[in-house]
A and B are shown apart, each in its own frame.
Chain A
Amino acid sequence: MRLIPYLIYLILIAMHQVFLQDMTSIAGVRIDLAGLIVMAIALYKSEVITLWFGLVAGVVWAAGMPDAFGWYGLLLALVGVTAFHLREKLNLESFYSKILFMLGGLVVHSMGMTIIEGGDGVMTRLWTNALPDGVYTTIVALIFLLFKDGVITYQKFKSIF
């Protein structure tokens, strides 16, 4: 297992936490980058990688909250491994099925994070925060999958001009 790409993913998550999150948020709706990367790994990599990377990504994502990052790590690992097993059971050849798969995983992860955050109005925030976050991140996932599945390639892009 090559570690470099996963380190880069972790650096990306940290970078997103520090400033990309504010720059990319629209009316308080944010991209769940950690969830997106773990879902992508669940889609394309092995169970063990998904499991461990989910845990580490959750811990890195919540590094500033030492009393809660265990929950975030466990949540992300569970979402990742569940996604992996679903991928094994389901036929995810279709582009749209991948998108739906991503949407499901990201919404569940956002909801899980909202529940871990706790506080007043958790049920409300599931709809007002978690669901929009999941949908927004799915749009980013859509762009990622378009590149990953070769629907958009550099050559195609270049041929426009």
Chain B
Amino acid sequence: MNWISSLFFRYWRNVHFSAVVVVSVILILNYPAINGLISQAAIGSFYYPFAKLKNLVVRLSSVDRENEMLRQSLVDASVRLSRLDEAERENLRLRAVLGFEPPTGYTLMPAQVLSISGGRIPTAAVINRGEHDSVYVNQPVINRDGLIGRISSVTADFATVQLLTDPVNRVAVRVADSREMGIAKYTSHGMILDNFPIQGDIATGQQIVSSGLGGVYPAGLIVGTVTEVERPAEAAFSNVDIAPAANFNSLEELFLLRPGGS
């Protein structure tokens, strides 16, 4: 036995080297039982904790990404929802407009308001119709509620509507019931009926319509409703306040009146 140990210690380096080579050759020969066991042991003891950690990190980062994506889709969904709400409102408006009949002798050309200008009260609106649509200056503009104004300028694709709220825009009107005439105009106090005789037949709640005498607006377009009538003593004219039929703060779909048609 002694000689074996002395031989081992004399050539110990070669023994180790040979052992390493033998082990390597066994591994290279790839016996599934041995290699599988070693592989499993190495993976289970050295790799598994790190693989678990990596999976956790990957999962956390994917959760973060997913969170970001969901947040983005939530924003998209809310934008779409508000668009749908808007479309629903538009749908309701257009449904209301659908049965809208133009005055006799006119046809309607729909137009969309692109922008509104003016101070506290809007006085002008730009619409998406122009010379290409045969729009002309002084063409009457209405909506489903009543008279809106007239075209004041036209470009190739756009036109500007001078609204009734513009103080320089005056409309020849009459009281729908009594047929008495006057001039409707907008002042800093709101719409009034100007030059209406003190003895004229007018009362609160009566409708004011265009008379058709000014040459711009056809007769019979609703301008507003009388809200207050004041007859000062020793005055020639009454003070008549009118509530405009149209809401000038929410103009969207307008109609241009075009002569012709039934």
Contact = CB atoms under 8 A, between A and B. Distances in A.
Contacts of B20: 51-52, 54-55, 74, 77
A17 B38 CA distance: 17
Nearest to A74: B24
B77 interface: no
B59 to A, nearest CB: 14
Nearest to A52: B20
Given A15-B50, A48-B16, A70 B43 contact: no
Interface residues of A, number: 27
A63 B20 CA distance: 17
A70 B53 CA distance: 28
A67 B39 CA distance: 10
Given A52-B20, A66-B38, A19 B28 contact: no
Nearest to A17: B47
A158 B257 CA distance: 88
A73 B24 contact: yes
Nearest to A10: B46
Contacts of A73: 23-24, 27
B187 interface: no
Given A18-B47, A18-B50, A55-B24, A70 B42 contact: no
Closest 10 CB pairs of A and B: A70-B27, A70-B28, A14-B46, A63-B42, A74-B24, A18-B50, A66-B35, A66-B39, A48-B16, A19-B54
Interface of B: 12-13, 16-17, 20-21, 23-30, 32, 35-36, 38-39, 42-43, 46-47, 50-51, 53-54, 57
25 contacts: A13-B46, A14-B42, A17-B50, A18-B50, A19-B53, A51-B17, A52-B16, A55-B24, A59-B38, A59-B42, A60-B42, A63-B39, A64-B43, A66-B36, A67-B35, A69-B35, A70-B24, A70-B26, A70-B30, A71-B24, A71-B28, A73-B23, A74-B25, A77-B24, A81-B17
